[in-house]
Amino acid sequence: MRTLTISLPQSLKAFVEQQVATQGYGNVSEYFRSLLREAQAREAGQRLDAQLCAGLGADSHPTNPAFWSQLRAEARRLIGATSSPAAILWPAGLEPHRAAIETLCREHAVRELALVGASTRDSTGPITQPLEFAVHLGEVGGEALARAYAKFSTALGTLLARPIDLIEIGSMGPTRLRRLLEQTRLLLYRVATGS
């Protein structure tokens, strides 16, 4: 990772420290990364909205927040109705690694794996940047969770031969970062219900 130094007036510095302390961020860097990821996702969403509006013919459709919310809900419903592993669409840049990633998920008892944040923006072409993943490792906790997380993170990074950011969603509280990650998630692997 690269280091970026910023200067803040005391009032903003105090606000940032308060956000870190009360919103569940590990440190100031994590807070700023979440703000940047949120801005990236918002910009990507605006570009997607513009493309969808062009495709739908914006003059004939109400493209307000309620419309997009209903459209997303319907898409989630349709995806949920076909959530078998074969029905999950993978980004082209990760498709060649699909079988190996699914094998890693089974070996490491992963319940769910999703691409999140900015990594989901350009998911149709080759992957050329660090990848951000959300993982759910099930009902383990404490040191067992830390060990499982570290082993899976190392194995996934080695397999993809690139830096990755791996976040265990189940261990996060209800923070803005969690909401952002859940909004941008692109499901890659999920253990079938009842497994």
CATH of the domain at 172: 3.30.460.10
Q: What is the rounded average pLDDT of the residues 104-124?
A: 74
Number of domains in the chain: 1
4 falls within a domain: no
Q: Which residue has the higher pLDDT, 104 or 169?
A: 104
Residue 2 lies in a domain: no
In a domain, 25, yes or no: yes
**pLDDT per residue over 72-99, tens digit each?**
666 666 655 444 444 456 666 777 888 8
Q: What is the mean pLDDT of residues 16-44?
A: 86
Please indicate, yes or no, if residue 175 is contained in any of the structural domains. Answer: yes
pLDDT band at residue 122, thresholds of 50, 70 and 90? very low
Q: Report pLDDT for 15.
A: 92
Residue 195 belongs to some domain of the structure: no
| Residue 36 lies inside a defined structural domain of this protein | yes
Q: What is the pLDDT of residue 14?
A: 93
Tokens of 32: 């700023």
* pLDDT tens digits for range 167-185: 876 666 677 777 777 777 7
Residue 182 within a domain: yes
Query: Does residue 21 lie within any of the structural domains?
Result: yes
The parent domain of residue 97 ranges over 10-190
